[in-house]
Chain A
Amino acid sequence: MKLESTGILIELRPLGEHDSVARIFTRDHGVMCGMLKGAQVSKKNKSLVGQVGNVSWNARVDSQLGVFHWEPEKNLGAFLMMNPKLLSVMNSVFSLIATLLPERENYETLYLQTENLLNGLINQKEDATDIYLYWEIGLLQELGYALDLTRCSGCGTKDNLNYLSPRTGRAVCDNCAKPYLDKLFNLPITVDVTKKFLEKIYEHQGGVVPLSRNLLKL
């Protein structure tokens, strides 16, 4: 069985002394796991987290771990490593993808958003906080927590939307919010608010928010 796509190398875990188990977020097949032979010892074309490239995954049967053939095209991680803020964003993005997304499920929109995020961080035309927040909202949407900030979840009005319901992820106007002020999140949305939703998702999955997300510096 052979699968081919383009992807981002998001995780490398040592396997023995020479090889690694890699996790690659691909455009066509979502998150994929497989073995990268010689990843720890290769001098030329070394596999590194943050690389974007072409990947082919081979295995005799579908259920096997399989072996990757990885051809890096660009090392986006190298451009971000020197900046603590940008590195923390990249670490957070990769750890969330690695821990939240199921394997071999197509998330093409999120993949493109992730590529845009990395390129946006390198170009620095927009603020890193905005870029990251936009990406995390996209992630929540893919996980079934689409935030609706267009109208009030109670009365449907489009004015005075200053609160967000933690249960539904929909905006709430000032009037409807009055009895629940202690339970609602304030708008505009921030990374602290999206973190609350992530905590909820991790709680459902029986896990905790990864360290990289907690160390996010924005």
Chain B
Amino acid sequence: MENILLIAIMHGVKMNSKIEKLIKQFAKLPRVGGRSAQRIVLSLLQDKTGRASNLANTLNDVAQSVCPCPICGVLMDNENGSCEFCRDRSRANGQLCIVRDLGDVWTLEKSGIFHGRYHILGGQISGVSGVTPDDLNINSLPKRIKEENITEIIFALPNTVEGKTTQHYVMSVLGNNDNIIFSELASGVPLGGDLDYLDDGTLSLAFGGRKKI
């Protein structure tokens, strides 16, 4: 049945305008093309267990109740006032990790290697994309550092020209502070990586950042 419907849609058979609108909405999502959107919509509409209604309710609930944390920018439930990272006292260890977006926070959390607090910039300075320092969450940083007694700032930004430009800009805004250690993630040979596959830039960084054993 699903295949017949799919073939009908693919061959330009006229469909319900509401369904067409829904397919277009799904097709706008990241990594979802037109065909995938059609499959998703068909799957939802043909499901007898009420999955479509559940999804609609959950989406509506999340869209209305989730907002960025006013302190760090992590998405949170707006009833709480701040996110779970900012509320967790055990995370107030003086370490602040500056990241580009929420996806980076989730990646770091999944690895379980960082137990401090986060600060999401919401992008990176880019002349090409027209992102200026004013578009980023930088201005609140000095106040936050003072209030939370931050002793180390870890930059976990992309190792690209834009990422480094943003990092240098943030450092220039924060100025020289002897009480704060600035650090950045190491760059070099990936785990399981062959030297053959590394470009000269990565190799030079790896050599430059070598450590005594």
Contact = CB atoms under 8 A, between A and B. Distances in A.
Contacts of B160: 48-49
Contacts of A56: none
A78 B168 contact: no
B105 interface: no
Interface string A96-124: 00100000000000000000000000000
Interface in A1-51: 11-13, 17, 44-46, 48-51
Interface string B140-182: 0000000000000000000111001100110110000000000
The 9 closest A-B pairs by CB, nearest first: A78-B201, A75-B201, A84-B168, A81-B164, A49-B161, A212-B127, A95-B127, A211-B127, A210-B127
A74 interface: yes
Contact of A84 (B132, B172, B200, B202): B172
Contacts of B159: 81
B69 interface: no
Prevailing SS type, chain B contact patch: helix
Given A13-B129, A17-B30, A17-B31, A78 B171 contact: no
23 contacts: A12-B128, A13-B129, A17-B31, A44-B197, A48-B160, A48-B201, A50-B161, A72-B199, A75-B199, A75-B200, A75-B201, A78-B202, A79-B201, A82-B205, A82-B208, A84-B171, A87-B164, A87-B165, A88-B165, A88-B168, A95-B127, A211-B127, A217-B172
A70 to B, nearest CB: 13
A interface majority secondary structure: mixed
Contact of B132 (A46, A72, A211, A217): A211
A90 B161 contact: yes
A13 B128 contact: yes
A91 interface: yes
A215 interface: yes
A77 interface: yes
Interface of A: 11-13, 17, 44-46, 48-51, 72, 74-75, 77-79, 81-82, 84, 87-88, 90-91, 95, 98, 210-212, 215, 217
Nearest to A76: B201
B56 to A, nearest CB: 26
A130 B196 CA distance: 37
Interface in B91-149: 125, 127-129, 132
